[in-house]
Structures are given as C-alpha cells and as structure tokens.
Amino acid sequence: MNIQAIMKQAQKMQKEMMSEKEAIDKEIFIGTSSVVKVEVYGNKKIKSVKIESGNLDNDDLEMLEDMIVIAINDAINKIDVETEKRMGRYTANMPGIF
C-alpha cells in the first residue's frame, strides 16, 4: 500500500468517525431515578428534567436533588457506553480519544 492510499483511507475513516459522533450528539439519552427523568443529548447537554411531584412532599427536597444527580449521571453513562460502542472500532488503538 502506498502513502496516498493510506492517507485516503485515513481521511475516509475520519469522515466516518465525525459522522458517527454527529449522530450521537443529536441522539437523546434518557436517565431515570424513581421520580426523576432526565433527557440528555449525546453531546451531554441537558434537554429536560421532569419530576413526578405527586410522590414527594416539601421535606424531600434533598432527596430530590440526589435523584436528579443520579438520573443525569445515568443518562451520561449511557452516552459514554453508546459512544464507546460506535466509536470503539475507530479508536481501538488510540486510548483517550473520547
């Protein structure tokens, strides 16, 4: 294989990687924790937080805050798993890329 063919293959792989990353960024991941539901885009920007307030009274605010953190972290973990699943084939020999 000559250098031009290697460069062409590398450019193709780079385009595929960027396309996959753009798809992940636009996807919505849902994290949940009993009364909290969080929607997060693949770029880890929060879309929405929904709370089922019928199950809580005012004294449960601290618990609610903890549940929100759990739900957000759940959604972010799902993004990380999906990113690794889709991008792993490109970055198998390049740790720390994503």
pTM over 0.75: no
> Cβ neighbours of residue 48 under 8 Å, at least 6 residues apart?
38, 39
The angle formed by the CA atoms of residues 63, 69 and 74, to the nearest 5 degrees, is 125
The pLDDT of residue 22 is 92
Confidence band of 96 (pLDDT split at 50, 70, 90):
low
- HEC string for 77-94: HHHHHHHHHHHHHHHCCC
The pLDDT of residue 55 is 64
State the angle between helix axes of 61-91 and 3-26 in degrees (0 to 180), rounded to the nearest 10. Answer: 160
Question: pLDDT tens digits, residue range 28-58?
Answer: 999 998 878 889 999 888 888 888 877 667 7
The total number of residues shown for the chain amounts to: 98
Does residue 73 sit within a domain?
yes
Does residue 34 sit within a domain?
yes
- Structure tokens belonging to residue 53: 């307030």
Does residue 96 sit within a domain?
no
Report the C-alpha gap between 74 and 79 in whole angstroms: 9
The pLDDT of residue 94 is 65
Q: Which amino acid is at 53?
A: S
Residues above pLDDT 90, as percent of the chain? 27
| Domain tally, the chain | 1
Does residue 98 sit within a domain?
no
Confidence band of 60 (pLDDT split at 50, 70, 90):
confident
Query: What is the residue range of 60's domain?
Result: 3-90
Does residue 9 sit within a domain?
yes
> Are the CB atoms for 39 and 73 separated by under 8 Å?
no
Mean pLDDT of the chain: 84
